[in-house]
Structure 1
């Protein structure tokens, strides 16, 4: 054990031991906190990935429904266009005869 210099105040071994214990406990608390945060992070990432997967599935289903609806509207639009063309031709034919 090293002796303090003559002009330094004498240190109490109990106080030194308590200080050392306090520093060690602080380091232990910090390590436990870091460990708990590290363990919580993957759970958060897993939950986020699950939510993103659910969102993707919901959006894919909505896109499929919208695509089907668009195809139906395009088909109906083509049918209506054909009927209008035939109606215009019929009206034009009637007007030419009169």
Structure 2
């Protein structure tokens, strides 16, 4: 019986080891899926960041153009007011 018990114990340990290996493999696959999802999210965030940086650059350029136009309008208004004052002063 000792040989049968030893064999049964060995088979039991082997079964437990296989179960542990399967669980470890499943955990590893799950972690790899999580990692792949995280990597995909990082890629999406990088693309969003690049798009937002481009939009910011365009907006800053537009703001600079608007500021330049504002300065030009202001200069012309001052010139027009000075011309009106000169005409009124005569």
TM value normalised by structure 1: 0.70
TM value normalised by structure 2: 0.75
Unmatched 5+ stretches in structure 1: 2-12
The aligned counterpart of 2:66 is 73
Larger radius of gyration: 1
Aligned length, in residue pairs: 87
Q: In the TM superposition, what whole-angstrom CA distance separates every residue of 1:20-76 from its partner, at most 9, and x where no partner exists?
A: 677555434422221111211221122111111101110011011001101100110
Unmatched 5+ stretches in structure 2: none
**Relative contact order, CA 8 A, sep 6+: which one is greater?**
1
Residue of 33, 45, 50 corresponding to 2:38? 45
Name whichever structure is richer in helix by fraction: 2
Runs (4 or more) in structure 1 with deviation over 4 Å come to: 15-26
